[in-house]
Amino acid sequence: MRKMMIQGLIASTALSMSLTVPTRAADAAAGDTLTLEEIVVTSRKREENLQAVPDSVTAFDAVTIENAGIDDVQDFIDLTPNISIRETFRAGVTFITMRGITTGQQGWAPVTYVVDGVQAGSLDAINQGALMDIERIEVLKGPQGALYGAGAIAGAINVVTKKPTNELEGKIKASYARANDLKLSGAISGPLVEDKILFRIGAYYRNTDGLIKSTDGVGLDFEEQATVRGRLLFNFEDVTIDLQASYSDITAGAADQELVSSANLLEVFDTPAAPGPARGIVGKENRTFTEISAKIDWETDAGTFTSVTGYSDINQDLFGSVSWQKPPAISLFGFSVGAPGDAFTDAFQDLMDNFESFTQDARFTSNTDQRFRWMVGMSYLDRKIVNLLSVGGLLQGTERVEANLVRFLNRPDVRNDKAWGAFAQVNYDITDKLELTAALRYDKDNLDTTQYTDLTLSTVVPTPDGLQTQKATHDRWQPKVQLAYQWNDDVMTYLTYSEGFRFGFYNTGNLTAPENTKNFEFGFKSMLADGRVRLNGAIFHIDYSNQQFTSIIATAPFRQTTNVPESNINGGELEIVALLAEGLELSGGLGVTDSKIVGGARSPSTPDYSLNLALSYTTQ
């Protein structure tokens, strides 16, 4: 089995192509007639055939994930239309844009990230490192707030890991590439008590020097990461208990943020103290992730009660040079500062974040094999975010330890969110061909933010000095209504109206208002050529209110998020998988997005087009 992958970027268009072996075909029961294998998804929180779900969903099963070499979030996003991801100056922070709705600095993400039913308290969990031991990935496009809550204003990503098995099995995988890029992964699974108590343990390790070097030969994009995950599954007569725990430790090279456009700052890249750019401190970021969850399923005659409890603790620390230079005394943004007689090797910036969250979800889901199906549930989120921006100098001739760091600016802030929601969804088969779906959710967030600035150099970086405490409450109803018509066994069309909502937040002392979207969508799903071609598509229009937009400003923390009153987004997606011959498969996707501010220009960070194309050949 051979695999090749090619990726490219053309102008502002997000364009990727791959030649790989991503999927498999299944023999029809009647004989050797080939058909595409059915994909079962849980995007509506119950198991359903992908082709029966009236939503725009891109799904990757375990075989696709393995053969296409999907190792991280970037890999499956490249193969999904109308979603893109971009790196920031921090190794552990990425911005996701889906259907023209993007991530802003400091606020809630536009996409909800769910792993095995546990909703992440922060999108930073998506940067946990490698995707390992994955059974399925589902990308839901369009507002999903009715089921997933505030934060799913653009969509949701649902990741399902492999379950423990009743048979002892294991796997080991290793690879080595240029830049001394070493990857090791493995998993072992089996019974502790046959049929009753099952376990699964997975691990991943990567170490690479990176491909980017500074002018003096120092590696800048190095990375070392280690992840371990454990899982216990208890099977009783009517109750299943699924316990999971994971830990990741990642150290990677990171860029340094600079502020060079303010009128009251000197040029930082060419100062009299250090003409020309010269390396000071190599940027480095350390991230640790600790996640624990418990899921309980209790089957009754009326349906299934599900409880999902999750705890997450994420720590991130970036340390790097302010001006990427090496002056004999500290030059902070071009100004010489420090106590008389002090000598500093370099100016530094230290950005530390801690995200701690507790989530609790509970729902009751009716049985699937009935004409009227329903689901009710509640959720709770308690999240605390602590940020610290620190700028100062490193004493000359010393190592980077706290005792040798002289800090001139300290800007900590603490943010507490306590959010809860309640929802209900019904699915009713009006006829054998026509299905009505109606859902409604209420979300409420109590926000408490405390920010303190200890700033000596107010003439350099003008910032209010002192303690600020602010509180706000945001709430919203999020409805969703769908009609789906099954024309025959192979073709289904649907109409959707849904609303999305993203909480507001405080930044630089100002309250950023919540966002709202109203989504109108028409889509179709089809199986053609006797089950050898899967063709799905959708077109949509979104009315977008209070778009949260981040811009750079001259005062700490050097960025501010404000609201754009009205935007309109139009677009569509088309996806195809075709079994051309035995072992030969073609797949691809096209996304088009036209996002514009009413009375203004195009919305930022939104590709006009996204395209992926894959041709695979598999042989035994």
Residue 28 — very low, low, confident or very high, per pLDDT cuts 50/70/90?
Answer: very low
331 or 599, higher pLDDT: 599
Of 288, 294, 291, 353, the residue nearest 319 (C-alpha): 353
Rounded to 5°, angle at Cα 612 from 611 and 616: 160
CB 520 within 8 A of CB 540: yes
Omega within 30 of 0 (cis) for the link into 514: no
Amino acid at 83: I
- Can you give the pLDDT at residue 137? 95
- Can you give the pLDDT at residue 106? 65
Amino acid at 459: T
CA distances from 496 to 81, 144, 493, 500, 591 (A): 19, 11, 10, 13, 19
Looking at mean pLDDT, say which of 260-269, 302-311, 333-342, 380-389 comes out highest.
302-311
Contacts of residue 99, defined as CB under 8 A and 6 or more positions apart, other chains included, come to 82, 83, 141, 142, 154, 155, 540, 542, 569, 571, 593
Alpha helices in 388-482 (DSSP H): none
CB 359 within 8 A of CB 119: yes
* Phi, psi of 194, deg, nearest 5: -50, 130
448-484 pLDDT per residue, tens: 888 765 554 444 444 455 567 888 898 999 999 999 9
284 or 124, higher pLDDT: 284
Rounded to 5°, angle at Cα 135 from 134 and 140: 95
Looking at mean pLDDT, say which of 265-274, 398-407, 476-485, 548-557 comes out highest.
476-485
Question: If you search the block for the tokens 């991230």, which residue do you land on?
Answer: 287
Please give the full DSSP string across 413-426, using - where no structure is assigned. Answer: EEEEEEEEEEEEEE
Residue 267 — very low, low, confident or very high, per pLDDT cuts 50/70/90?
Answer: very low
Q: Work out the average pLDDT over 393-408.
A: 70
CA–chain centroid gap for 501, Å, is: 17
pLDDT at 380 over 70: yes
- Can you give the pLDDT at residue 34? 86
* Phi, psi of 402, deg, nearest 5: -55, -35
Evaluate whether the domain defined by 6-166+177-617 bears CATH number 2.40.170.20.
Answer: yes
Please give the full DSSP string across 318-350, using - where no structure is assigned. Answer: EEEESSS---SS-EETTEE-SSTT--EEEEEEE
Query: Both tokens of residue 46?
Result: 């119950």
Q: Work out the average pLDDT over 340-365.
A: 79
Contacts of residue 593, defined as CB under 8 A and 6 or more positions apart, other chains included, come to 82, 99, 100, 569, 570, 571, 606, 607, 608, 609, 610
- Can you give the pLDDT at residue 90? 66
127 or 54, higher pLDDT: 54
- Strand pairing class (169-177; 155-161): unpaired
Amino acid at 373: R
- Can you give the pLDDT at residue 616? 84
Q: What is the greatest pairwise CA distance in the chain? A: 88
Half-sphere exposure of 208 (CA within 13 A, CB side): 21
- Can you give the pLDDT at residue 606? 83
Q: Which of 87-91, 335-339, 557-561 is the least confident region?
A: 335-339
CA–CA dist 171, 186 (Å, integer): 5
- Can you give the pLDDT at residue 89? 61
CA–CA dist 560, 544 (Å, integer): 20
pLDDT at 335 over 60: no
* Phi, psi of 152, deg, nearest 5: -95, 40
Rounded to 5°, angle at Cα 379 from 378 and 385: 165
- Can you give the pLDDT at residue 194? 95
Q: Work out the average pLDDT over 111-132.
A: 82
CB 376 within 8 A of CB 423: yes
Percentage, residues of the chain above pLDDT 90 = 51
- Can you give the pLDDT at residue 561? 76
Segments making up each domain of the chain, as ranges? 6-166+177-617
Q: Which of 356-370, 490-504, 540-554 is the least confident region?
A: 540-554
